[in-house]
Structure 1
Amino acid sequence: MDGMFFDNWQVLVCTVTVGVLAYISLVLLLRLSGRRTLSKMNAFDLVVTVALGSTFATILLNKDVSLAQGTLAMALLISLQYLVTWTSVRVGWVRRLVTGEPALLFHRGQFLRGAMRAARVAEDEVRSSIRSSGIEVLAEVEAVVLETDGKFSVVRGGEASGASSLAGVNTPDLN
């Protein structure tokens, strides 16, 4: 049971020192890479954020990982994320590979069962997203879209003219 609750002061001072320096390094890297690095726009962004947190924890708690190694690992993750997002903005197939496409689950009063099955979404979940949007009557809903980040978007029906917010959404044959 030696060291279970307290090892020695040197270990604690080392953890504080490395923690502060790792934190400063992470903040600087994030500031250099831009706002997109910690966005939650899709599953890929979430994975990068979790990986950065895991790397930060490893730097703090693993004596076998130096501050320089950990900072390099965080810089590598941020650089790869920057490269992938930069490329995905410019190359359509990379964007689709990394983020997928939003899926139309409900359209003009109809649950799109095939799309719901493919997305592994139950009717109750779609209804819940509609209720969360403050809509009581399904007829008021133009569409429900499962976005690439896993969130539901509920689009109210209306007589508005102009470009549709559903452009680019994976829509099954709606005939």
Structure 2
Amino acid sequence: MSDVTFFFGGWVPILRILVMGTLAYGALLALQRIFSSLQPFSDNGCEAPSVGSASPALLFYQGNWQRDAMRQERITEHELVGAVRQNGFGSLLDIEAIIMEANGKLAAVGKARAGDAGALLNDPR
């Protein structure tokens, strides 16, 4: 009966559990950080709200992709082209700008309706 320990077998097993648990928790946090950085683009269609974004973002303007803004808003070209189709346009040649509004919705503005582009560039003319 002296060979069997029923409750407390020493500090080594307890310390081993604490160390392994801490390492496992750290590994899970590191993996979560890695996988979230590998998935920079949204998967929820054309409505991809940017967390904490309080102002509209210009994502496409006069035939040019605004790559820095697209990366910051985590949106792909495919999602922008989908927004063009949803807004009733057939070609990017008809588009002056694509804007992600503060509420996360994508707006495609045609060249015929762009005017002087003051509202597109947040320039209150």
- Normalization by structure 2: what TM-score? 0.51
How much has 1:114 moved relative to structure 2? 1.1
State the identity %.
34
How much has 1:129 moved relative to structure 2? 0.2
How much has 1:162 moved relative to structure 2? 5.3
In the TM superposition, 1:102-121 aligns within 5 A as: 102-121=56-75
- Normalization by structure 1: what TM-score? 0.37
Cα distance in 2 for partners of 1:124, 1:160 equals: 23
CA-to-aligned-CA distance 1:22-78 (integer Å, 9 cap, x gap) = xxxxxxxxxxxxxxxxxxxxx8xxxxxxxxxxxxxxxxxxxxxxxxxxxxxxxxxxx
CA RMSD of aligned residues (A): 2.4
Q: Which runs of 5+ in 2 are unaligned?
A: 1-48
Equivalent residue, structure 2, for 1:166:
120
> Is residue 137 from structure 1 mapped to residue 91 from structure 2 by the alignment?
yes
Larger radius of gyration: 2
Equivalent residue, structure 2, for 1:27:
none
Cα distance in 2 for partners of 1:109, 1:101 equals: 22
Amino acid at match of 2:108: V
Runs of 4+ in 1 over 4 A off after TM superposition: 159-163
Looking at secondary structure, tell me which structure has more strand per residue: 2
Correspondence for 2:80 among 126, 129, 140: 126
